[in-house]
Structure formats: C-alpha cells, structure tokens
C-alpha cells in the first residue's frame, strides 16, 4: 500500500532563507515556491535522492502551518507517503476507523492528489498520503 516516503515537510518562518540554507550548505536545488491558497502556505521542494524535502511557510497565522509554527516553532511538520490509489486507500482507512483529516483527495501542488491522516491515530505524526498523476513517476 505504501510505495515510499514521498517527502518530509518542514515548517519554516521564511522559505527564502530556509531554501538558501539548503542550497549553500547542501548543494540542494530548490524549486520555485508555489502558493497553495486553500492551505494558507507557500511551498517548495528539493530532491534528496529518491525522496525530497518540502519547505512550508504559512501565508497567514491562522492557517494550520501558521498555528503549528506559533505553538511548536520551526521543524519537522509531516511525512508524506506515496500510494497508488489514494481514493481506495482513504476508503480502507475510513472503514478501519482511522481518523482522517481529509476523507476525499484534494488537488495539491503539481497536480498530485493528497490527503492527511490525523496525527492522533498516526502516533503523533501528521501523515500525508500522495498519489501522483498517471503520467508522472515522481
Ligand atoms: Co506535504
């Protein structure tokens, strides 16, 4: 059911400053930040081998990432697992009584489908499930 770790999400105060850190010190090639209005974030990614790191900066303090930053400060925010069929995965999870933040897939950056599982049930880790568009491998 889980194909691989698709990305790790980091909550940051300033996405430009954070991107520069990984570029300067780790040679990362960070993509152009993209705003996801619905989630109140600006996000970008850089590859780490097969996987990637997602940097998230809130665009408003009352967004989920904004609240996270205020409460916990910068740091690890969520893990994203790649799945083949998100709709079917969510259905199975729901039937097993797993607490879902999103019961239906949402369209995320780059045409991916994504949904979050509540950290309450996932042992304290906010867990995102991602399905890639059919014409995209990664
Ligand atoms: Co993510």
Query: CB within 5 A of ion ligand 1: which residues?
Result: 9, 54, 80, 128
* pLDDT at residue 19 tops 90: yes
Residue 73 has pLDDT above 90, yes or no: yes
Sequence length of the chain is 138
22: left (phi over 0), alpha (psi -120 to 50) or beta: alpha
Contact 15, 36 (CB under 8 A): no
E strands, the chain, in order: 2-11, 34-36, 41-48, 51-58, 75-83, 106-107, 113-117, 127-131
Distance 11 CA to ligand 1 centre (A): 10
| Ligand 1 center to 25 CA (angstroms) | 23
Q: Model-level pTM greater than 0.85?
A: yes
Q: How far is the CA of 113 from the centre of ligand 1 (A)?
A: 11
Give the Å distance between the CA of 94 and the centre of ligand 1: 20
In the reported structure, the alpha carbon of residue 6 is separated from the centroid of ligand 1 by a whole-number distance in angstroms of 8
8 CA distance to ligand 1 centroid (A)?
A: 7
Q: What are the pLDDT digits (tens) for 83-127?
A: 999 999 999 999 999 999 999 999 877 788 999 999 999 999 999
Q: How far is the CA of 85 from the centre of ligand 1 (A)?
A: 17
The per-residue pLDDT for range 33-54, each reduced to its tens digit, is 999 888 899 999 999 998 999 9
Looking at residue 108, its pLDDT comes to 78
Q: What integer pLDDT is reported at residue 137 of this predicted model? A: 65
**Tell me, what's the pLDDT at 38?**
84
For residue 26, report the distance from its CA to the centre of ligand 1, in Å.
Answer: 21
H-state helical runs in the chain:
15-26, 64-72, 86-95
Phi first, then psi, for residue 110 (nearest 5°) are 65, 20
- Residues 83, 2 contacting (CB under 8 angstroms): yes
How many Cβ atoms sit within 10 Å of the Cβ of residue 111?
10
């Amino acid at each position: 059911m889980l194909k691989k770790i698709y990305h790790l999400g980091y909550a940051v105060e300033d996405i430009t400053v954070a991107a520069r850190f990984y570029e300067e010190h780790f040679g990362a090639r960070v993509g152009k930040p993209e705003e996801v209005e619905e989630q109140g974030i600006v996000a970008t990614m850089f590859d780490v081998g097969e996987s990637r790191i997602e940097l998230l900066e809130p665009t408003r303090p009352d967004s989920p990432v904004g609240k996270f930053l205020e409460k916990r400060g910068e740091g690890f925010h969520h893990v994203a697992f790649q799945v083949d069929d998100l709709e079917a995965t969510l259905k199975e999870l729901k039937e097993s009584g797993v607490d879902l933040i999103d019961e239906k897939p949402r369209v995320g950056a780059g045409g991916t489908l994504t949904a979050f599982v509540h950290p309450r049930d996932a042992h304290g880790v906010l867990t995102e499930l991602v399905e890639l568009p059919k014409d995209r491998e990664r």
